[in-house]
Structure formats: C-alpha cells, structure tokens
Amino acid sequence: MKKLLITVFSFGVSLLSVANPLVEPLKELTTVRSTYKKVHITFEAPMEKVFISILDANGDQISKSKYRTKEAVTVPFNLSALPAGDYQVKIETKDEVEIYPIKTVEKKSKNKPLMAYGKIKNRNTLNLLVVGLEQPGVSIDIYNEFNRKIGSEYIDQPEGFSKDYKFVNQNAGKIYFHVKDVQGRSKYVYPKIK
C-alpha cells in the first residue's frame, strides 16, 4: 500500500509539472526602451505583482511603483523633469530582479526662424521690430550701403521689441541690420518703405 501511495504521489507530481510548464523568465517577458525622455516598459504577459523603480546612474532610487496586469501591457514613464543622462529601470517580482540601463536625451526642437522686420519711417529714421523671442537677448549690427558696420547694440528684452534708429548724415534707405538672438538664429533686415 505504501508503495502504491508513493507511486500515485510521484505520478501526480509529474502530471502537475506537465500541466504547469515552467514560467518564462522576467527578462524574456519584458522590454524596456527609451525615446528622448520617455521610457516604455512592455510586459508580454500578465504580471501578478511587479515593482518598477527608476534609478539614477549611481543606482539611487528616484521613484518606485507597483503594478498588477491581467494582460500584456506597456507602462509609460515620463522623465522630462529629470536632466538628460544615464538611468536604470529596475523591475522586481517576488522571484526575480532585472535591471535595464537606459539613456535619456533632450529632444531637439526645430527652431522657428527669427522674426525681425524693418521699415523706413523717413529719410533719417528706421524702425526695427523683433517679435516671438523665446529667450531675451538680441545683438544688432548696423551696416551702411558699403557693407561697413556703423553701429551695434545688444537688447535684453523678453518676447520682442520695436525701436527707432535715427541717423545723421546717412540715408536710412541704404542702411540694413544683422539681427541675431541668443539661440543663434539670425536674419538680415533690409528696411522698406511702408
């Protein structure tokens, strides 16, 4: 009888092992990718209880969250409040821990062109209008008809400005500006009669 019970128990254990195949390792079920300062963690299968931690380059914890999923899912993280650099994503279950290195970078913005306009007010006066500045700070070089610099100025005004320039013994219609902002955008402005 004892031998029969041992045989039945062994047979039951072998059936359970066939009915419950080994669970896939966490690393095979998880994908971590980053785009600029956004991180996406994808779980290819349901997760009973999983902790996701964001760590800095030294391994110090920045944030930690707990998740349970009933199906495959992608969990997004926005790291835009942190400086661009090297980080780690730590994923923990009750049985495993995986750490994925990631790198975040700043998204390069497409600079809009510098918006600067000039008009001739009269024979000796020009008006320069600069608008849409994202940061204060514009350098202005003034040139005559012979392409010689006759003046320069730096204006530290947020958003934009309008300024009249008066010239003595110079025909305003033959003067132009080279305007450059702190972002490196520049424009030559040839004032026109309006």
Distance of CA 188 to the CA centre of its chain: 31
Q: 168 in a domain, yes or no? A: yes
Q: What span, in angstroms and rounded, lies between the C-alpha atoms of 170 and 164?
A: 15
pLDDT in tens, 26-59: 888 899 999 889 999 999 999 889 999 999 989 9
Q: 16 in a domain, yes or no? A: no
CATH number, domain containing residue 151: 2.60.40.10
pLDDT in tens, 60-94: 999 999 999 889 999 999 998 899 999 999 999 99
Q: Give me the number of domains the chain comprises.
A: 2
Strand, coil or helix: 4: helix
What's the whole-model pTM score? 0.48
Would the pLDDT of 8 be above 60? no
